Structure 1
Amino acid sequence: MADNPETGLGGFSIPDTLPILPLREAILLPFTATPLVVGQPRSVKLVDDVMRGNRLLTLVAQRDPKVESATPEILHRVGTVGVIHQLARAADGTIRMMVQGLERVRIKDWTQTEPYLVARIEQAPDEVLEGTEVEALRQAVVDVFSRLVAVSTDLPDELPMAARNLPDPRHVVYFIASVAPLETSMRQEVLETDPVTAKLRRLLELLQRELAVRELGRKITTETEERLSKKQKDFYLREQLRSIQRELGDEEEGSGEVAELRRQIEEAHLPEEARREAERELSRLVGISPASPEHGMTHTYL
C-alpha cells in the first residue's frame, strides 16, 4: 500500500509552491536532519524570507556542483521539502542552519528565478509494499550496514542499532543513505528510485561495494604492517647478532665476506623466492662462528 502523504510531516502542510534552495555538495533526504551553511546573497535572502513565513523550503541537489549560481537547468527534478529548525548568523554574513527533511517532492515547473528560485511542486511519497520481500531487504541492508560500521573508524558504533529501531523501510533507507559513506550522486539515486523495494536493493548494492572496498583496504593495511613489523624484527635481531659478534671479536673477520656475499645476492637479481632463501642463509651465516664447520658449509652453499 502507498504511504499517507502526511506521514512523517510533523504536522506541516506542504504548499504547492515553495522556494528552491540548490545544494552543491550535499543532499537532504526525508526524515533526516542536515546541517547547512548558506553564503550566497540570493540564498541568504531566500532563508530570510522563509524564516518570516512557514520556515518551509525545497532543497534540490545540483547536477554540477561546480556551478556557483544555479539555474533550473542544472538542478535535479526530485528533491526534499525541509523545515528550518535552528539558525545562526555568523559575522561574515553566512547562515548556519539545521534543516529537517519532511517529504520527497518533484518539481513541476518554475514560477520565479529572481531574486531566488521558486517552483510549483508535487509530493512524491515512496510506495511501500508490505510483505516478506521488503522485510528481508530491510534486514539485509541493516546487516551489511552493521558490517560496514564495524570495519570503519569514521562511523559511530551506535548507528546500526539506531537503524534497527526505525519504524518502517522508508526511514531505514533514508537514514542509512544519509549517514553511510556515499557520494551525493549515489544518495540522489536512492532518493529518486521507486518503489521502496527497488530503493532497498540499490542501497544494498552501494553498501556492499563500499564494504568490499573497505575490507580490502584494511587487509592491505594489515599485510603491509605485518611486513614492516617482520623487517623491523629482522633488523633488530641482526643488530643483536652484530653486537654479540663484536663482543666475541668475530665481526671484523667475517664482515668482509658477508658484505661481499650480500653484494653478490643483490647483483644476481634472483627470483623472489630464491632471494628470500639466500638472505635467510646469509643471516644464518652471520650468526655462525667462522671457526665452526657449519660456517664453511653455509658459505659454500651460498
Structure 2
Amino acid sequence: MSPTDRYRRPADLPPRIPVFPLRGAILLPRATLPLNVFEPRYLEMLDDVMAGDRLIGIIQPAAADVGEFEESPLESVVLRNVGCVGRVTSYQETDHERRMITLTGIMRYDVLDEAVTDLPYRVMSVSYDRYASDLSEGLGEEQVDRTNLLRVLRSYLDANKLEADWPAIQRASSEFLINALCVMSPYGPEEKQALLEAQDLKRRADVLVALAEMELASSGNSGSTLQ
C-alpha cells in the first residue's frame, strides 16, 4: 500500500493541521518534497507529528514584505489561502539538531482560519472539500498533451544544459511527471502558487508548459524545431 492509499475521502484527513510555511515551495498529490528541518519550532512540530498522524501542511506566505531569502517567515506573516497536506514518509536524524524528511503529498486544502494554541508553530483549520479529486490517482491524465509536455521539457533541459534520466521520464505516468516537475521547478512564489491552484491535471500541465515556453522565449531559445 502506498503512503497515500489510506486516505480515500476528505473525511480521512484531520480538520486541523500543523503548517510549515515555506516561500517558493509547494507540494502536490503523490509528489515528494525533501526538507531539511532545523529551526527549534519546526523540530518540535516534527516531534509532535511523528508521535501522531505524521501529517504536515505545506503553504506559502502571502505577504509581499517577506524577505527574498526568508524561506520560513515569522508568526505574524499572512499565509496563502491554499496549501497541500503531506505525510512524512522518510525521516532521518542528522548531526547538529537537524532532521532530513520527505513529505509525500496527499491533497490540497483551503485555509479556513488559524487555531489559537500555545504551540510554537502554526495550526490551521482547513477544508479539503474542493479537492476531493486529488485522491483519485491519475485522474485527468488522458486530457494531458503529453507529447507537447515532453517536447517542451526536453527543450528546457537542453537550453539549461541539464541532464536527466530520459528513459525514466518517458516511463513515468503523466500525473507523477507533472506534479513532480511542479514541485521541483525553479519558478518564483507566484508561479508556484499558480501551479498549485490549477484546477486539474490538464490545466496544471498547461501552466507548466506556458511557464517553460516563456522562459525559453525570453532566453532566445525555442523548442519548436526539436523532434
TM-score category by the smaller chain? 0.7 to 0.9
Secondary structure (helix, strand or coil) at the match of 1:112 reads: coil
Structure 1 residue 35 and structure 2 residue 29: aligned? no
**How much does 1:157 deviate?**
2.3
Alpha carbons of structure 1 residues 29 and 73: separation in structure 2 relative to 1, 3 Å = same
What is the distance in 1 between the residues matched to 2:168 and 2:216?
Answer: 19
1:299 corresponding residue in structure 2: none
Letter in 2 for 1:103: M
What is the distance in 2 between the residues matched to 1:106 and 1:80?
Answer: 9
Kept in 2, the 8 Å contact 1:151–1:215? The answer is no
What is the distance in 2 between the residues matched to 1:97 and 1:28?
Answer: 14
Task: Identify the range of structure 1 (13-22 vs 50-59) with the bigger mean alpha-carbon deviation.
Answer: 13-22
1:245 corresponding residue in structure 2: none
What is the distance in 2 between the residues matched to 1:192 and 1:16?
Answer: 20
Structure 1 residue 76 and structure 2 residue 80: aligned? yes
Alpha carbons of structure 1 residues 129 and 55: separation in structure 2 relative to 1, 3 Å = closer
Kept in 2, the 8 Å contact 1:17–1:120? The answer is yes
1:10 corresponding residue in structure 2: 5
Q: How many percent of aligned residue pairs carry the same amino acid?
A: 22
Alpha carbons of structure 1 residues 199 and 89: separation in structure 2 relative to 1, 3 Å = same
Q: Deviations over 1:63-84 (max 9, x none)?
A: 3543554337521111111111
Runs of 4+ in structure 1 off by over 6 angstroms are: none
2:165 corresponding residue in structure 1: 158
Alpha carbons of structure 1 residues 171 and 129: separation in structure 2 relative to 1, 3 Å = same
Alpha carbons of structure 1 residues 214 and 103: separation in structure 2 relative to 1, 3 Å = same
Alpha carbons of structure 1 residues 195 and 29: separation in structure 2 relative to 1, 3 Å = closer
**Structure 1 length normalisation: TM-score?**
0.59
**How much does 1:55 deviate?**
0.9
**How much does 1:126 deviate?**
5.2
What is the distance in 2 between the residues matched to 1:200 and 1:126?
Answer: 16
1:265 corresponding residue in structure 2: none
Which consecutive unaligned segments of at least 5 residues does structure 2 have? 223-227
What is the distance in 2 between the residues matched to 1:62 and 1:53?
Answer: 26
Kept in 2, the 8 Å contact 1:89–1:95? The answer is yes
Structure 1 residue 87 and structure 2 residue 82: aligned? no
Alpha carbons of structure 1 residues 199 and 8: separation in structure 2 relative to 1, 3 Å = farther
User: What count of residue pairs does the alignment treat as equivalent?
Assistant: 205
Kept in 2, the 8 Å contact 1:110–1:117? The answer is yes
Structure 1 residue 104 and structure 2 residue 99: aligned? no
1:196 corresponding residue in structure 2: 201
Alpha carbons of structure 1 residues 130 and 177: separation in structure 2 relative to 1, 3 Å = closer
**Structure 2 length normalisation: TM-score?**
0.76
Kept in 2, the 8 Å contact 1:37–1:95? The answer is yes
2:154 corresponding residue in structure 1: 146
Which consecutive unaligned segments of at least 5 residues does structure 1 have? 1-6, 218-302
Q: Deviations over 1:275-296 (max 9, x none)?
A: xxxxxxxxxxxxxxxxxxxxxx
1:182 to 171, 182, 187: 187
Kindly indicate which of the two structures has a greater share of residues assigned to strand: 2
Kept in 2, the 8 Å contact 1:108–1:119? The answer is yes
Q: Deviations over 1:200-231 (max 9, x none)?
A: 222221010122345549xxxxxxxxxxxxxx
Alpha carbons of structure 1 residues 207 and 93: separation in structure 2 relative to 1, 3 Å = same
Kept in 2, the 8 Å contact 1:55–1:84? The answer is yes
Kept in 2, the 8 Å contact 1:78–1:107? The answer is yes
